[in-house]
Chain A
Amino acid sequence: SQKIEQNSEALNIQEGKTATLTCNYTNYSPAYLQWYRQDPGRGPVFLLLIRENEKEKRKERLKVTFDTTLKQSLFHITASQPADSATYLCALGRGTSYDKVIFGPGTSLSVIP
């Protein structure tokens, strides 16, 4: 069955460093991959989408890579700030009107001042 795994442990990093979060998947061929941010007690907020034919995408301090051979996406936050502390979810989709999006369990990131 389809499975999505994200960093199993919470990630703690020092302010100013680059945070790298991992999303691995099995038994699935996504057409795209999304990253969302979720703050405690709030709904997820969409950050970035990367398609299967794209290797890398950037938005301000965020960078996402997508390797369909390794079945992995990496999500980087450069020059991290305490305000980046949150849970980050990856989600996979096939891009059809009948295939639902599948969400990973999320990785908790804490940026320490």
Chain B
Amino acid sequence: DGGITQSPKYLFRKEGQNVTLSCEQNLNHDAMYWYRQDPGQGLRLIYYSQIVNDFQKGDIAEGYSVSREKKESFPLTVTSAQKNPTAFYLCASSIRGLEETQYFGPGTRLLVL
């Protein structure tokens, strides 16, 4: 079964804590993305990667970090510097790059304790 998986489905963060959201795809896509979704707003791009070992900041990268050591994996770390992390986080991939149709994972909802 091909697709994108995200884990966990729900994640709770304590103040001052870093947390990591997992994203894995077996679609053999080169490009992967992280978006944040808040009520009433469009998806906002956090980071994207068009190739292994390379990634670029999106519109709201502050307080987040990523790595792309393997083609199929693109984990997102929400650091303590992100002061308003409560949101729905979506990972996506596309065959090659930014110009193409994106395939989304099921999302991770991050809540702050």
CB contact between A106 and one of B42, B45, B88, B90 (< 8 Å): that residue: B42
Which residues on A sit within 8 Å (CB–CB) of B109? 41
A89: CB under 8 A from chain B? yes
CA distance A103 to B104 in the complex (A): 13
In the complex, chain B residues 23-59 whose Cβ is within 8 Å of any chain A Cβ: 35, 40-43, 45, 48, 50, 58
Q: How far is the CA of A102 from the CA of B99 in the complex (A)?
A: 11
- Give B54 Cβ to nearest chain A Cβ, in Å: 13
Which DSSP category, helix, strand, loop or mixed, fits chain A's interface? loop
Determine the chain B residues whose CB is within 8 A of the CB of A43 once the complex forms.
4, 90, 92, 104-107
Of A64-72, A78-86, A93-101, the one contacting chain B is A93-101
What's the interface size class on A, roughly?
20 to 34
Q: In the docked arrangement, what's the CA distance between A93 and B105, Å?
A: 20
Measured CA separation A101–B4 after assembly (Å)? 19
Instruction: Point out the residues of chain A lying under 8 angstroms from B96, CB to CB.
Output: 97
Count CB-based A-B contacts (< 8 Å).
55
- Taking A41-B88, A94-B99, A100-B45 as known contacts, 7 extra A-B pairs with beta carbons closer than 8 A to each other, sorted by chain A number, are A43-B105, A97-B96, A97-B97, A99-B99, A103-B35, A104-B42, A105-B42
Contacts of A106 in B (CB 8 A): 42
Known interface pairs A97-B50, A97-B97. Does A102 touch B90 (Cβ–Cβ under 8 Å)?
Answer: no
Residues of A contacting B97 with CB < 8 Å?
97
CB atoms of A100 and B104 under 8 A apart: no
A-B contact pairs, 16 of them (CB 8 A): A4-B42, A41-B88, A43-B104, A43-B105, A43-B106, A46-B101, A49-B101, A89-B43, A97-B97, A99-B98, A100-B48, A100-B58, A101-B98, A104-B42, A105-B40, A106-B42
The verdict on A42 contacting B101 (CB below 8 Å), with A100-B45, A104-B42, A105-B42 known, is no
Task: Indicate if the CB atoms of B43 and A42 lie closer than 8 Å.
Answer: no
Shortest Cβ distance from B97 into A: residue: A97
The answer to whether the Cβ of B102 comes within 8 Å of any Cβ in the partner chain is yes
Q: Which residues of A contact B50 (CB under 8 A)?
A: 97
B98→A103 contact, CB < 8 A: no
